[in-house]
């Protein structure tokens, strides 16, 4: 089987976690290859995500690396078993890989925590709002590209509606709520969508009002993607240049701390709901 030319973020993450376990054990790539009965060059390819690995071989490596965390091993084995089976694969080749990676991360998350300052979170956007946002792209998106991005964004929202919806927390700055993408009617319908989601048991929406003043991380929007085990958490950063994924321990700790700071500034959920209603009534 030829190596993957463009491994997904999740395939790369599986490989990097196996590399961490190997390095922590003090075992060389050559010794790891001997355990699997493969050439030593295969291990770097596995650890970069360019070659797949079976769930059984993941367990073999983890056992010999002396990993005591059975929960982590089970998840790594499950990741190895996935083999590109998700609905998002329908969009691969049509859209930038980073957008596909976001959909895959959200699908497998145990919880999602997002903080935004100037845009409504994608998982909460109405179709009309999302279209208006894509219409502001520079350079302008060709029609087919815009429609493909819109279809992906709307399909991603199924994680909030499935039989076992992902737990979702959004901390939204007042600036994002007052942005009128698509005009007052679209903006009002968008706020009503947010209010409807805020009534769900699995969704928490809190607002940081202008009155809160300055706050850390004011210039960025991010999503903290929680995995069933903390070692596999990921932070996804949004920027005009695309999406960036972070998973180093120090980075994860930083963004967990940032989320805690933002929660401390945000209104309570009931107060946030009343605040959003007031903004909607002004439109």
Whether 9-85 shares its CATH topology with 88-282 is answered no
In the predicted model, is pLDDT for residue 1 greater than 60? no
Under a CB-based contact definition with an 8 Å cutoff, are residues 232 and 17 in contact?
yes
The whole-angstrom separation of Cα 26 and Cα 28 is: 7
Q: What percent of the chain has pLDDT over 90?
A: 89
- Two tokens at 180? 């009128």
- The structure tokens listed for 49 are 């995500």
Residue closest to 1 by CA, chosen among 83, 73, 101: 83
Spatial separation of the C-alpha atoms in residues 45 and 81, rounded to whole Å: 17
What angle is formed at CA 242 by the lines to CA 148 and CA 81, rounded to 5 degrees? 70
Nearest-angstrom CA–CA distance, 3 and 245:
23
Measured between alpha carbons, how far is 256 from 261 in angstroms, rounded to an integer? 9
- Spatial contact of 40 and 30, defined as CB atoms under 8 Å apart: yes
Q: Say if CB 166 and CB 202 are below 8 A apart.
A: yes
Q: Which two tokens stand for residue 159?
A: 């994680």
Evaluate whether the domain defined by 88-282 bears CATH number 3.40.50. Answer: no
Name the more confident of 4 and 73: 73
Break the chain into its structural domains and give their ranges: 9-85, 88-282
Domain at 9-85, CATH class: mainly alpha
Give whole-number Cα distances, 87 to 25, 104, 258, in Å: 36, 9, 32
Q: What is the pLDDT of residues 107-134, one digit of tens each?
A: 999 999 999 999 999 999 999 999 999 9
Q: What is the mean pLDDT of residues 40-64?
A: 95
What pLDDT score does 153 carry? 97
pLDDT at 4 over 80: no
pLDDT at position 32: 97
- Residues 6 or more apart whose CB falls under 8 angstroms from that of 212 comprise 265, 266
Tell me how far CA of residue 230 lies from CA of 18, 46, 235, 256, 268, in angstroms.
15, 22, 12, 11, 26
Q: Which of 120, 108, 140, 139 is nearest to 232 (CA)?
A: 108
Residue pLDDT, tens place only, 220-260: 899 999 999 999 999 999 876 678 999 999 999 999 999 99
- Evaluate if residue 5 carries a pLDDT over 80: no
């Amino acid at each position: 089987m030829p190596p993957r030319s463009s491994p997904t973020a999740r395939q790369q993450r599986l490989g990097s976690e196996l590399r961490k376990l190997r390095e922590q054990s003090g075992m060389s790539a050559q010794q790891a290859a001997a355990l699997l009965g493969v050439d030593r060059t295969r291990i770097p390819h596995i650890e970069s995500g360019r070659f797949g690995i079976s769930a059984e071989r993941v367990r073999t490596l983890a056992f010999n690396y002396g990993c005591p965390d059975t929960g982590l091993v089970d998840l790594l084995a499950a990741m190895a078993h996935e083999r590109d089976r998700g609905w998002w694969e329908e969009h691969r080749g049509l859209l930038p890989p980073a957008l596909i990676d976001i959909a895959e991360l959200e699908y497998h998350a145990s919880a999602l925590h997002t903080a935004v300052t100037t845009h409504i979170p994608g998982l909460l956007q109405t179709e009309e709002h999302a279209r208006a946002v894509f219409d502001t792209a520079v350079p302008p998106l060709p029609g087919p590209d815009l429609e493909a991005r819109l279809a992906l964004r709307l399909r991603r929202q199924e994680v909030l509606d499935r039989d076992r919806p992902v737990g979702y927390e959004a901390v939204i700055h007042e600036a994002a709520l007052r942005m009128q993408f698509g005009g007052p009617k679209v903006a009002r319908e968008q706020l009503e969508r947010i209010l409807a989601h805020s009534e769900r048991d699995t969704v928490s929406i809190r607002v940081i009002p202008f009155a809160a003043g300055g706050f850390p991380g004011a210039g960025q929007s991010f999503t903290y993607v929680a995995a069933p085990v903390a070692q596999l958490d990921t932070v996804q950063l949004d920027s005009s240049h695309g999406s960036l994924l972070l998973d180093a321990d120090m980075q994860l700790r930083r963004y967990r701390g940032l989320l805690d700071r933002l929660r401390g500034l945000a209104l309570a959920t009931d107060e946030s709901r009343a605040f959003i209603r007031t903004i909607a009534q002004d439109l």
